[in-house]
Amino acid sequence: MSFKNELLKVNQRLAEKGVKLRIEKRGNKLSLRGPLPCQNKLGETKDQRISLGLEPNSIGLEQAEKTLNFLYLQIEHKQFDWKNWSKKKSRTTSEKDSSNIDNLIDNFKSDFFNDPQRNQSKSSSRTNWVSSYLPYLQRLKLIANKSNRKFNKALLVETLKSYSENSRSRQQCGSTLRALSVFSNVELPSNWSSIAYGYGLHKAQFRQLPSDTQIEKAYEIIPNQKWKLVYALMATYGLRNHEVFFCDLSCLKKGGDRILRVFPNTKTGEHQVWPFHPEWIDKFQLNDLSNDKDLLPAINIDLTKTTLQNVGRRVSEQFRRYQLPLTPYNLRHAWAIRTIHVGLPDTVSARMMGHSVSIHTKTYHHWITRRDQQQAVDKALSA
């Protein structure tokens, strides 16, 4: 019998006895998990872990089951005390758990991929980990190693502040470190949300957004017709880099509705997008894609062998290779601002872009405010 089946059988036996605690394999060790007494709130319990340090094999599993039964008896007879389990590295003893940052990140990774409530798509989870978690955890480790720091609140704040204010990276770092703090039971500063905020256009981006004329001229610079089509799709529909390769292009046929459907396996799931400007579909010859998707560059989009981040990176690399005077996200931001200028409701624009209304409002606050003020002025003058 495989170890996985042995573990399943033991946990089923515990469930049949009414025991809510479970044994789980985290990384290369066994742990106990379940409702355990809170240290600071008498009479309350919450889902917690105790690392046993046992090998994931038959011998380790047998010992883990005995330990669990002993722990359960202590709880039942109100004799449980965290002090007696400190040497076993209770999850609540974050100082011990977190002294080795490499081990902490490895355990956090195992928890991420073993969470049953997470998206069941392995490729989506892998993409999410590589793009949204790993870069910021590596930055954390780098900062800790440089100054021989321990994992604590101060290290989390220092890592967050290593990213520019009002940047997407800073916001994503904040979300990642928040999840890590919950996992390791390290308390964050009360103003964490405000110092982590950073999704928007900073001043440099604000000044550099391309006009429609500049976008059209940059299109002509691209020497490869296949990459021209990638560029044109992003400009016309405001797509993320990878979304170009994960959408239904049949709508582009002559007489089609021209409403692009982005597939569910992308970063923010399925959503529909309208073209702004619609005339660019003909100008950039996007109609041809409705019958032949091979007109796009031949890159690996098999998510069992690659990630959405890798697909997107190929697009960014080509922009740099052709020395284009704008970035992929310049095209996306320019598309969003076009929708604001034509008066499209923010809820609709946000849905098309595959993000929340709050993110949309924060990112494009300047243009939205100007639009709303202009509408108020026009209404007053026409009265």
List CB contacts of 184: < 8 A, sequence separation 6 or more: 91, 94, 97, 98, 104, 108, 151
Domain ranges in the chain are: 3-92, 101-199, 208-334
Which DSSP helix (H) or strand (E) runs through 201?
none
Long-range CB pairs of 169-177 (<8 Å, 24+ gap) are 169/135, 169/136, 169/198, 170/196, 170/197, 170/198, 171/196, 171/197, 171/198, 171/199, 172/132, 172/136, 173/136, 173/139, 174/198, 175/132, 176/132, 176/133, 176/136, 176/137, 177/136, 177/140
Residue 301's Cα: distance from chain center in Å? Answer: 19
Q: What is the rounded CA–CA span in Å between residue 32 and residue 11?
A: 11
Residue 206's pLDDT is 61
What does each of the 383 residues of the chain score in pLDDT, given as a tens digit?
788 889 999 999 998 888 889 999 987 889 999 998 887 777 788 888 888 888 888 888 988 888 888 888 888 878 788 877 754 444 433 433 444 788 888 888 888 887 655 555 566 677 778 878 999 999 999 999 887 888 899 999 999 988 877 667 788 899 899 999 988 888 888 888 878 865 556 555 665 789 999 999 999 999 999 999 999 999 999 999 999 999 999 999 988 999 999 999 887 889 999 999 999 999 999 999 998 878 999 999 998 888 888 898 899 999 999 999 998 989 999 999 999 999 999 999 999 999 888 888 888 888 888 888 988 898 889 87
Apex CA 127: angle with CA 125 and CA 133, to 5°?
85
Which DSSP helix (H) or strand (E) runs through 256?
none
Q: Give me the amino acid identity at 90.
A: S
CA neighbor of 85 nearest in space, from 98, 68, 104, 63: 68
Task: Classify strands 260-262 and 271-273 as parallel, antiparallel or unpaired.
Answer: antiparallel
